[in-house]
Amino acid sequence: MSELRYTDDHEWALAEGDTITVGITDYAQEQLGELVYVELPAVGTLVQQGDDAAVIESVKAAGDVKSPVSGTITQVNENLNDAPEKVNEDPLGTGWFYKVSISNPQELDNLLSEDDYNKLIASLD
């Protein structure tokens, strides 16, 4: 079973077994505006929960994508190198950033449910 979880920094994590797909939320991409550059982590990189894992630049700002979980990067979305706008077009689909083999599945319990994330963004408006 897959389950979507969120960070309070507006990353999402889709758990499918021991593999976690990571991206930024629709709210985050709306706040950033059109993405013009994405720097993805290297496959094999070890990340800790909360570490900066990718760099994004938009017409409005630059920022980091933090890893929602600890583990090893197993795959990156190479399509974003030539088409960072995919994040704006489909942040929860083709705009994913990377996949990580989770080293501590209990970390998923530290992330927000969809309901809790929706309450968070409602409080920001």
Are 20 and 73 a contacting pair, CB within 8 Å? no
pLDDT of 1:
40
pTM: 0.94
What letter represents residue 117's amino acid? Y
| Domain range for 90 | 2-124
Total structural domains within the chain = 1
Confidence at 3, pLDDT banded by 50, 70, 90: confident
Give the domain CATH number at 15: 2.40.50.100
SS3 15: strand
pLDDT in tens, 106-123: 999 999 999 999 999 999
pLDDT at 51 over 90: yes
Sheet holding 98-102, edge to edge: 2-6, 11-16, 19-24, 98-102, 71-76, 46-47
pLDDT in tens, 89-104: 999 999 999 999 999 9
